[in-house]
Structure 1
Amino acid sequence: MFQPVALLDAATFLLAAMAFTLIRVSEPAPRPAETRRWSAQAAEGIRFPRHDRFSDAWRGPGLRRSAIGA
């Protein structure tokens, strides 16, 4: 009636489900986000690539045009 492969598949699924219930993870509570105006956040996002010494993306016309157009 049942295929042996189906029984094996069901057994491994149950074994994995039981193993996941044994995993305990402790994480610190996230810090509350500081509330700022959206315009200040947008200005910071535009300033970041200009002042990031590893980013050459802002110097090209593509990112600058899309940031100004948005």
Structure 2
Amino acid sequence: METITRKKIEQSCLQTIAVEMGLKSNDLNTEMNLRDDLDIVSLDAMNIIMALEDEFKIEADIETV
């Protein structure tokens, strides 16, 4: 089984956000605030969450997100 590092998770998340928002992944960084820096609204956030669920094969608890 491959070990996944924090760096790999961060890169994958940034790539997913970039794809969902129509941006270049190298324009993003982990210090950005999705709402303030990228103007992400709730519908965008839901699309990103669903894409991350698919990417990582997980289920997010929508009540807490």
Output the TM-score relative to the length of structure 1.
0.29
- Greater relative contact order structure (CA < 8 Å, 6+ sep): 2
Larger radius of gyration: 1
